[in-house]
Amino acid sequence: MKKIFLLMPFLAMFFTTLADDDVFQRPSTKHLVVDHANVFSDWQVDSLTAKLNSFDRATSTQIQIYTTTDLQGYSIADFGQRLGEGWGVGQAGFNNGIVIVYKPKTETEKGEVTIQTGYGIEPLIPDAICKRIIENEMIPCFREENVYQGIDKAVDICISLTKGEFSADDYNKKTSGDYSGGSSSSDVTLKDILILILIFAPFFGIQYLYVKKHPNSVSLSSGSYSSRSDSSDYYSSDYDSSDYDSDDSDDYGGGSFGGGGASGSW
């Protein structure tokens, strides 16, 4: 009996290690939103899941959201990296996975969040940009106890950055909430408009006088103009859908993580 009591601490440590390992073992079915901390409502989980699954099918890039009250003794960055690597978030070869881990604030512990990026995502979302997203977009929402909004904003920015809708430099230059990239309409001054008018006015004047003098010389041929309503003709992407089996959308792809990303607390 005494020997059994002596062995109990080692047995407890053994089973705890097994439980820890289970957290980082790939699930049999893909779930891009795992809310162990119960911070989302049902419709919020459904909304995020639909958005992330749609993005996964369209681009093969996977964004994993994971909330927990127990980091198993790891730092939140290490936890997120281990989760992404163990679950294989993103596609093998592309390594285009992103993991967002959120731990809520309690009376005794600070709140924490991390964004961990796969090897293929690091050039598109550098560590400094991950930190900026956390500090400018996520934590202000978390402080107001709006977890869903903070996570959703981060997801939208990550999607836009990976799709090339704006670059990391564009995001750096923009104030919080404005991610359009390029010049906004407010940047166009009255002086700019007057300069454009002065440049183009003579050309329009000459054209008007010519058409007025030779009205029959201008005609519209049925073949001279073609309408291109298919937006796919104007869309280009480096991603080749033939390299990704969209039918395998119920599983993770085996992406790798190397510790890229950033973390924050409040």
Phi, psi of 161 (to 5 degrees): -65, -45
* Residue 225, helix vs strand vs coil: coil
Confidence of residue 166 (pLDDT cuts 50, 70, 90): confident
Q: Which of 110, 156, 166 is nearest to 133 (CA)?
A: 156
pLDDT in tens, 118-134: 999 999 999 999 999 99
pLDDT score for 165: 86
Residue 241, CA distances (Å) to 96, 238, 246 in order: 14, 9, 8
Mean pLDDT calculated for residue range 219-224:
36
pLDDT score for 173: 80
pLDDT in tens, 60-102: 999 999 999 999 999 999 999 999 999 999 999 999 999 999 9
E-state strands within the chain: 33-35, 62-67, 97-103, 112-118, 257-265
> CA 249, 112, 126 angle in degrees (round to 5)?
60
pLDDT score for 21: 62
Confidence of residue 250 (pLDDT cuts 50, 70, 90): confident
Is residue 236 over pLDDT 90? Answer: no
Q: Are 126 and 116 in contact (CB under 8 A)?
A: no
pLDDT in tens, 24-54: 999 999 999 999 999 999 999 999 999 999 9
* Residue 116, helix vs strand vs coil: strand
pLDDT score for 172: 81
Domains of the chain listed by start with CATH number: 24-181+253-265 (3.10.310.50), 185-214 (no CATH)
pLDDT score for 170: 87
Residue with tokens 């010389």: 217
pLDDT score for 52: 98
pLDDT in tens, 251-263: 899 999 988 999 9
pTM listed for this prediction? 0.68
Share of the chain above pLDDT 70, in %: 64
Share of the chain above pLDDT 90, in %: 58
